[in-house]
A = this chain, B = another copy of it.
Amino acid sequence: MAEYRRLRVALLGAGAVGSQVADLLLRHGDELADRAGASLELAGIAVRDVDAPRDVDLPRELFTTDAESLILGSDIVIELMGGIEPARTSILQAIGSGADVVTANKALLATHGPELFEAADRVGASVHYEAAAAGAIPIIRPLRDSLAGDRIVRIMGIVNGTTNYILDRMDTEGADFADVLADAQRLGYAEADPTADVEGYDAAQKAAILASLAFHTAVPLDAVYREGITTVTASMIEEARAAGFVIKLLAVCERLDVDGTESISVRVYPALVPHSHPLASVHGANNAVFVEAEAAGSLMFYGAGAGGVQTASAVLGDVVSAARRHIAGGVGVGESTRANLPVVPIGHVTTRYQVTLEVADAPGVLATVAGILSDGGVSVATIVQTVEGDEEPTARLIIGTHRAAEQSLSAAVAALADSSVVERVVSVLRVEGE
């Protein structure tokens, strides 16, 4: 093996991803050295509890509880602790001491990304985070580098494996949300507290990261509109299928013209996706990111969105990149946020909608409903009426609208809910990918 400069690599965290990263670094060290042009020496693994059980058997002498000392003597710091603190402080320490940083911490990047990138920029260090969005799927470099000469129009991503797994099983089995969630928890596809996944918080963090890169704009997490999938029912999925759609939790990042001002919208919600769209065929816990760019046209990136060893692949790719930069000299490439486009609230977004209502099965109801929508500036494209019950019959109206602004649609739906002919607004779903 060639003689390479030795780089000291600090690993912070030894959970599902961290233990796999350590294992692969130790097992494939020579091969990685050949690729990086530098010998990657795992200097230590900082953890809270040295004796905690790990997924992988690792040399005990690598473990330490003193993260700070480990960081200060290292060339590359891999942060896999998750959460905001102490991850944020550790990364700032690493940057301050001249190390390059690799992190998979989407929560931290979505909330404190600009602070970290500015700190790195000041000293010429680099921050790598391929694993922070869509797991093993290479999406960060394509957005930041490969598409840097293009204008991205729209990103639609299935970026949360847990919710895709749940929705896919609901679609396949006709099962209800709660049953599939319970089974997903039993099988390890969903966590004991599934809130971050099923309420869309995880997807919203990834959406903020993707939109920031795609639109060269620092997108704060609280600018991301978010709905989860807990309200999706088996009958909504059934109705969607009948209309030619599948329901997917999408992260949508879109360039918009709002009254002549170039703007962006970033939003996460369960949406109706036509069966013919490539995202409709993304099954199980897989992820996919569909990108539309002015020059490149439509691109799709598909793969495993999570999993310890899959995510470790993305982390190690970043470690090799960080090592190459450390050897090559020069400053790291900073984030480009100079476009600084305004992020508009959901009210400005225009899509088609599918609105399902329970109404009294009486003459004139259809005309009243259509009138309310029309008065609200929402134009109806299709109405399907089904009647259920024998004694006091209730009709179900499934209304497909033409494109309408969210603010018009929600005002019209509120008016429908108040109307005497509407018994219940069953669901309001947006259509994406037509």
Residues of A that sit less than 8 Å from B by CB:
2, 20, 24, 28, 31-32, 34-37, 124, 130, 136-138, 140-142, 145-151, 216, 278, 281, 293-304, 307, 309-310, 312-321, 324-325, 328-334, 336, 338-339
Give Cα distance in the complex from A64 to B39, angstroms: 47
Chain B residue contacts of A35, Cβ below 8 A: 148-149, 216, 336, 338
Q: Give A426 Cβ to nearest chain B Cβ, in Å.
A: 33
Are B321 and A293 in contact, with the CB atoms below 8 A?
Answer: no
Closest partner residue, chain B, to A318 (CB atom) = B149
Assembled-state Cα–Cα distance A434/B315 (Å): 29
Contact check, B34 vs A149: say whether CB atoms are below 8 A apart: no
CA distance A18 to B314 in the complex (A): 34
Q: Which residue of B lies closest to A307 (CB)?
A: B297
Chain B residues within an 8 Å CB radius of A36: 148, 336
What are 21 A-to-B residue pairs whose CB atoms are below 8 Å?
A: A2-B338, A20-B295, A31-B151, A34-B338, A36-B148, A124-B328, A130-B146, A136-B297, A138-B141, A138-B142, A138-B299, A140-B146, A145-B320, A148-B317, A294-B313, A295-B313, A296-B310, A297-B304, A300-B301, A301-B302, A325-B333
User: A332 and B321: CB pair below 8 A?
Assistant: no
Contact between chains at B145 and A317 (CB < 8 Å): yes
Apart from A146-B317, A295-B312, A328-B331, list 17 A-B contacts with CB within 8 A: A28-B151, A124-B328, A136-B296, A138-B147, A141-B141, A141-B145, A149-B313, A149-B317, A150-B316, A278-B281, A278-B302, A295-B313, A297-B304, A297-B307, A299-B302, A325-B330, A329-B329
Chain B residues, CB < 8 A from A299: 136-138, 301-304
Nearest 9 Cβ contacts at the A-B interface: A330-B330, A149-B316, A138-B146, A138-B142, A295-B313, A329-B330, A299-B303, A296-B313, A148-B320
Most central of A34, A320, A331, A334 by chain B CB within 10 Å: A320
Cα–Cα distance between A303 and B288 once the two chains are bound (Å): 13
Give, as a whole number of angstroms, the nearest-CB distance from A338 to chain B: 4
CA distance A302 to B278 in the complex (A): 10
Q: Chain B: which residue is nearest A326 at the CB level?
A: B330
Assembly CA distance A300 to B139 (angstroms): 11
A331 to B324, CA, bound (A): 10
- Contact check: which of B145, B300, B339 meets A300 at CB < 8 Å? B300
A262 to B57 CA separation, bound complex (whole angstroms): 27
Measured between beta carbons, the chain B residues less than 8 angstroms from A141 are 138, 141-142, 145-146
- Selected from B149, B281, B298, B333, the residue in CB contact (under 8 A) with A303 is B298
Q: Which of B147, B148, B216, B329 contacts A331 (CB 8 A)?
A: B329
A307 contacts which chain B residues (CB < 8 A)? 297
Residues of B within 8 A of A304 (CB): 296-299
Q: Give the one of A24, A32, A35 with max B CB within 10 A.
A: A35
Chain B residues, CB < 8 A from A336: 34-37
Contact A149 B278 (CB under 8 A): no
The one of B31, B149, B302, B316 in contact with A24, judged by C-beta atoms closer than 8 angstroms, is: B149
**Chain B residues, CB < 8 A from A2:** 338
> Could you tell me if B312 and A34 are in contact, using CB atoms closer than 8 angstroms?
no
In the complex, residue of chain B having the shortest beta-carbon distance to the beta carbon of A333: B324
